[in-house]
Amino acid sequence: MSELLVERDGPIATLTLNRPDRLNAISRPMLAALSKALVECDRDPQVRVIVLTGAGRGFCAGLDLQDATAGTGIGAQGDDLGAVNLDLRDAPPTVLHSIDTPTICALNGGAAGYGMDLALGCDIRIAAEGAKLAAAYAKRGVLPESGGTWILPRLVGWAKAAEIIFTGRTLSAQECLDLGLVNRVVSGDALQKETRALAQEIAANAPLAIQASKRMMRMGLSENFDEHVHHVFLQLLPLFRSKDFREGMAAFLEKRAPKFEGR
């Protein structure tokens, strides 16, 4: 059975981590498949939103401690993780950060360590009531290696991020909502419905404009205001020449829903 399920329904692609017997703990095949699927979805003009979720009762338990302690899998004794020629360009957190297609994490259960970083790497998070984020890195002798030290301080501020990471605390869905780590909390039964409704709302908008907006938000994290405004204007010029821009203006004047083609 594939460790990553890929389902496409119209403009929405759903990627499901699929090791439910291990709470979707990461493996090398899973990571390779996830990176490949993210890139393929981002390159597909028909895909306007990517949803990332987990099979079973967990989202992702992070490092597979059973495999690691048994001497197999990621983190096993003697596993150098490619330290001689370190190249993380194709690692899922890097790919997740660099793609322009909007991503939604449907946080169906616990997300620990790497799983927490994956969830935080998505643009939007919708959590089931029973979902949790476990920053258990220091409790396992590691650090948030997959983007957590970059993302978390930007989401909650330095002091809150320091408290979460240094204590290795587990946050309930409600605590995540209060901190702004998730956009909303819904019942477990409503998670997929709520996620799909949001994905459809995003997918109904002009995809080129959405992608450009995400690209500029990402660049803005490291630019000053003057540089950023200049880059935004350069993104705006080709949008003015797009068929979707003309459709958007026409739909507004004609008081109808627009039909965007991504051109």
Q: Give the fold, CATH level 3, of 4-203.
A: 2-enoyl-CoA Hydratase; Chain A, domain 1 (3.90.226)
- Give which of 151, 13, 141 is closest to 133, Cα–Cα: 151
Residues 221-243 pLDDT 10s = 999 999 999 999 999 999 999 99
The pLDDT value recorded for residue 63 is 81
Domain ranges of the chain: 4-203, 207-254
Residue 205 tokens read as 């908008």
pLDDT beneath 50: ranges in the chain: 76
CB 144 within 8 A of CB 92: no
Q: Give the fold, CATH level 3, of 207-254.
A: Lyase 2-enoyl-coa Hydratase; Chain  A, domain 2 (1.10.12)
The pLDDT value recorded for residue 36 is 96
- Give which of 212, 220, 216, 197 is closest to 242, Cα–Cα: 212
Distance from C-alpha of 88 to C-alpha of 94, rounded to nearest angstrom: 7
The pLDDT value recorded for residue 71 is 54
